[in-house]
Structure 1
Amino acid sequence: MKKILMIVVLFLAQFAMAQIDVKLSITNIKKMKGNLAIEFYRNVENYTKGQNAFKKLYVPIENIDKYETVFKNIEPTFYAVKVYLDVNNNKQLDKSFFGVRKEPYGFSTNADPILREPTFEEAKVEMTEENNTIAIKLNNNKGGE
């Protein structure tokens, strides 16, 4: 009987864990046309490989300066977010031979290393009930205008 009670308590605790709504705001789009690629990552390995994003959106946009969305019922933890505006619809962030980004891009902490992506540690933000907004300003300086 104690085992059953313990299992029930653990089961209910899983559902009782607080979930939050995370608001994502992307600015500096500059009324460009293309597809906004948004990738949420929860761990270093997936972030580094650019695979198995926890949440992924590919949103067609045109003639807007700002895009906002809400991810509902998200576990409060650390996330790193990558965003780029795919202006030529090839579903990848285009880079020059030297690794310089050719399309507008951004990361969750607005970090901007020139010839590399920020690491997971540099890009991660802690999402909590009190801190539930990520604001990313697209960087258009490497081309894309």
Structure 2
Amino acid sequence: MPAQADEVVITVTDLRSPEGEVRACMTREESIFPKCIKDPASYRTVVEAGEETVTIRFAGVEPGKYAIALLHDENGNGKADRALGMMPKEGYGFSRDAKVRMGPPDFEDAVFEHAAGRQELTIRMRYFL
């Protein structure tokens, strides 16, 4: 019998502006996180940015361990812009509000378990500059 699939609903808070879009990617692949766009089985979506909060939904999610990476792509160019080649100019966020230190968090810091049914998460958008 196949595992029951359902949805993960993410409330993204603390957007600094309504400009651009919020890009979300959810993966099970520890080795490529947070660049889960390289995972053909990842869940991805893009939504318009809101005043302070947006809601993102991933439907048909199989039970398992996942991590989420978010980007507030304020200029809508489809990539994470950086100052001096390393400091993020746009907002970012990770499941479990995993902290960024000298680089993105490890999968284990952002991982959460999704069981069958609806699951709600809140992720705070953070800005370096």
- What TM-score comes out, normalization by structure 1 length? 0.77
User: Quick check: which one's strand share is greater?
Assistant: 2
Q: Deviations over 1:71-98 (max 9, x none)?
A: 2221111111000111122211122336
Moved more, 106-115 or 73-82: 106-115
Matched, 1:91 2:75: no
Which residue of the partner structure matches residue 60 of structure 1?
A: 48
Matched, 1:132 2:119: yes
- Give the counterpart of 1:29 among 3, 15, 31: 15
User: Quick check: which one's helix share is greater?
Assistant: 1
- Give the counterpart of 1:118 among 105, 108, 115: 105
Which residue of the partner structure matches residue 25 of structure 2?
A: 39
**Letter of the structure 2 residue corresponding to residue 106 of structure 1:** G
Q: Which of 1 and 2 has greater Rg?
A: 1
**Letter of the structure 1 residue corresponding to residue 81 of structure 2:** D
The 4+ residue runs of structure 1 with deviation greater than 3 A are none
- What TM-score comes out, normalization by structure 2 length? 0.85
Percent of pairs identical after alignment? 22
Which residue of the partner structure matches residue 76 of structure 1?
A: 63
| Cα deviation, residue 115, structure 1 | 2.5
Structure 2, gaps ≥5 residues long: none
User: RMSD of aligned C-alpha atoms?
Assistant: 2.0
Which residue of the partner structure matches residue 106 of structure 1?
A: 93
| Cα deviation, residue 30, structure 1 | 3.1
